[in-house]
Structure 1
């Protein structure tokens, strides 16, 4: 499922989350930042998107999901050579930051995600994209 934001410079965001409500809430927040959103309900779906050639600017990845966990997906995505995509690990678990960072995520944010945290991550990626386009 994709939803495209209006405007010339939108970011491609992948939301990997098995809980419907969490997907909806994060998607709504991302739309406020003009993101084009693709949804995956587990790590395997996320990895499969990369296997068919999809590209994203940023991935928001939950930790505990059926079929393939977030950290497992991060390891596989990085192993495919996807080093330019910013990967954000998300979880309410106490040990999640260490697990995500060791798997190859760039940053970790605790759930529920605060709008300020989301905004700072999005702006960082947008600035990086502007600099690489020049």
Structure 2
């Protein structure tokens, strides 16, 4: 399920989230940055997208999901050689930061995600993309 904001930039975002309300809230925030958003409702769906050759600039990945957890998906995605994608682990769990970072995520943001955390991640990726295009 992909939704493209009006005047979409080339910023491709994968949201891996099984909670509909959480996915809708995060998607609404991301639309403010003209992101092209794809949803995976569990880690297996996220991994399958990469197996099909899909590429993303950022992944926002929840921790606890059915079928495959976020950290399990991060390990598999990194094992495929996907080192350029920025992976953001997100959870309300106390131990989630350690679990995500050890799995290979770049950063962790606690839920609920604050707009300033989201903005700083997006700006960092946009700046990285600009620098690699030069």
TM bucket, shorter chain: over 0.9
Task: Identify the range of structure 1 (107-116 vs 8-17) with the bigger mean alpha-carbon deviation.
Answer: 8-17
Shift of 1:3: 1.2
SS of the residue corresponding to residue 100 of structure 1 reads: helix
**Over residues 33-75 of structure 1, what are the superposed CA-to-partner deviations in whole Å (9 max), with x where a residue is unaligned?**
1100000000000000000000000000000000000000000
Normalised to the residue count of structure 1, the TM-score between the two structures is 0.98
**Over residues 68-126 of structure 1, what are the superposed CA-to-partner deviations in whole Å (9 max), with x where a residue is unaligned?**
00000000000000000000000000000000000000000000000000000000000
Aligned pair 1:75/2:105, yes or no?
no
SS of the residue corresponding to residue 45 of structure 1 reads: helix
**Does the 8 Å contact 2:89/2:107 carry over to 1?**
yes
**Which blocks of at least 5 consecutive residues in structure 2 are unaligned?**
none
In 1, distance between residues paired with 2:88 and 2:77?
A: 13
**Which blocks of at least 5 consecutive residues in structure 1 are unaligned?**
none
Stretches of 4+ moved more than 2 A in 1? Answer: 5-10
**Does the 8 Å contact 2:8/2:34 carry over to 1?**
no
Shift in alpha-carbon separation, 1:66–1:126, aligned structure 2, 3 A: same
Shift of 1:5: 2.3
In 2, distance between residues paired with 1:93 and 1:130?
A: 34
Partner of residue 63, structure 2: 63
RMSD across aligned positions (CA)? 0.8
